[in-house]
A and B are shown apart, each in its own frame.
Chain A
Amino acid sequence: MEHLELFFKSIFIDNMVFATFLGMCSYLAVSKKVSTAVGLGAAVIFVLAITVPLNWLLDQYILQPGALSWLGDEYAAYDLSFLSFIMFIATIATMVQLVEIVVEKFSPSLYNSLGIFLPLIAVNCAILGGSLFMQSREIPTLGLSAVYGVGSGIGWFLAILAIAAIREKIRYSSVPPALRGLGITFIITGLMAIGFMSFGGMLTGGDEEAKSEEKTAATEVIKEDVKSDTEVKTNLDVAENTNK
């Protein structure tokens, strides 16, 4: 359930293109034809699905404050979080080039259709954005991080597919000459983003924590444990006295 929720959330509500505006450059530059858009979109899904879990492992076992404690207690105090940017970027760039080499070697036909997009992906900020969101949103498990990677990739894929299809059709419309191409694409993307904002209504009111809390909080406060209350009070008296 948790996985499913995160999956749909990352596709629609937190859509990489329309909600966070990441990966815009390649989105605008490579959306002239549906076929190329599909190629790039597939490559993005693939790379996000690999790099987000990989960076999750890096973050969990190397970068976070105290993450090195599996090496022994004396390493527990190290905080390497200042390296996260550079490590994430290095992972992404390495993975992209590794994928490029492997695909070229084993499937030349796939390489021909996908190959030219792979270098583009390394500079696609949606990829690094995916890893950074994974870190800042504190995704708890490896499985969830993989789901998040795939979900954001699919969201990006859907977005570029949609705009490419629109751009193929819009050739037959009479757009003002100066607005043709890039200009109208910007405006359509803006309108699509406004449309996607309606998905935000699907999960409102912050996190589940806040919701469940509202229910329990009221009862909890009233029925307070009288015994522990007095215990604490004696403690507090001591505290107050030392205060004065």
Chain B
Amino acid sequence: MAKDSKLILDPLADNNPITIQVLGICSALAITAELEASIVMSISVLFVLGVGNVVISLMRNIIPSKIRIIVQLIVVATLVIIVDLILKAFAYELSKTLSVFVGLIITNCIIMGRFEAFALGNGPWRSFLDGIGNALGYGIILVIVGFFRELLGSGTLLGFPVLGDPIEKTGLYALGYENNGFMLLSPMALIVVGIIIWVQRTRNKDLIED
């Protein structure tokens, strides 16, 4: 049981998919200009990684190793397309919000990375936990980056203005504060992630490289 909880807790910090395993970076940069998008993306990855890991784990003994990469990619793509089609038919509004993320999920290497590294060698239950854990670890970083970029870049959180109105000059803006539009550009996401890594490794010296 202790081992099972480790599967979930480890990826949250010491084995984080983004800051340690270097997986799923592209999406972490692309969509974190807004906190809401970060949260939606995290939930979508949670779903796809959880289910995908179980499916791959169930198939692990019958997949020929020569074509395993194709099989893995096709499983992810099929899952995502099925969900996308069903949402389009029965929850059209929701699918409009999520459609942007479909391509990002399929190309997200965190999913392939966990299939390859874990699900191919472990049972369904453990694979499921591993999927959930890694998706949560991924989500935490996304939410942190999204929080800072939205707050400093547009002065809002989840779309609500928290620092006052930049045009009417109320709140902080009355004191001469300006939004840092630079935070909204993708390069700043890289730098924010770099700073997160810095903080994390300062706290846990074991993770320092070289």
Chain A residues packing against B (C-beta within 8 Å): 21-26, 28-29, 82, 85-86, 89-90, 92-94, 96-97, 119, 122-125, 128-129, 132, 171, 176-187, 189-191, 193-194, 197
Contacts and interface: CB of A to CB of B under 8 A. Distances in A.
Nearest to B66: A97
Most buried by B among A22, A25, A185, A193: A25
B191 A187 contact: yes
Nearest to A186: B194
Contacts of B25: 21, 24-25, 28
A190 B197 contact: no
A191 B191 CA distance: 8
Interface string B64-95: 00110110011001101100010000000000
B108 interface: yes
Interface string B155-195: 00000000000000000000000000000011111110111
A187 B107 contact: no
A89 to B, nearest CB: 5
Q: Is the interface of A mostly helix, strand, loop or mixed?
A: helix
Contact of A190 (B19, B116, B188): B188
B103 interface: yes
Interface in B38-73: 66-67, 69-70, 73
Interface of B: 19, 22-26, 29-30, 66-67, 69-70, 73-74, 77-78, 80-81, 85, 102-103, 106-109, 112-113, 116, 185-191, 193-195, 197-202, 205, 208-210
Contacts of B106: 85, 89, 128
Contacts of B102: 85
Contacts of A97: 66-67, 69-70
Contact of A123 (B113, B189, B190, B201): B113
Nearest to B204: A178
A211 to B, nearest CB: 26
Contacts of B197: 178-179, 182-183, 186
A189 B190 contact: yes
Nearest to A128: B107
A93 to B, nearest CB: 4
Nearest to A26: B109
Contacts of A183: 194-195, 197-198, 201
A122 B201 CA distance: 31
B121 to A, nearest CB: 16
Most buried by B among A29, A190, A197: A190
A28 B210 contact: no
B83 to A, nearest CB: 12
A191 B187 CA distance: 7
A74 to B, nearest CB: 25
B198 A179 contact: yes
A123 B112 CA distance: 7
Contacts of B22: 25, 28-29, 182
10 contacts: A21-B26, A25-B23, A25-B109, A123-B69, A123-B113, A171-B210, A178-B197, A178-B198, A179-B194, A189-B187
Contact of B210 (A90, A93, A96, A180): A180
A191 B210 CA distance: 23
A10 B172 CA distance: 42
A85 B74 CA distance: 9
Contact of A178 (B29, B30, B67, B202): B202
Nearest to A17: B26
Most buried by B among A24, A90, A132: A24
Given A82-B81, A93-B69, A97-B70, A24 B187 contact: no
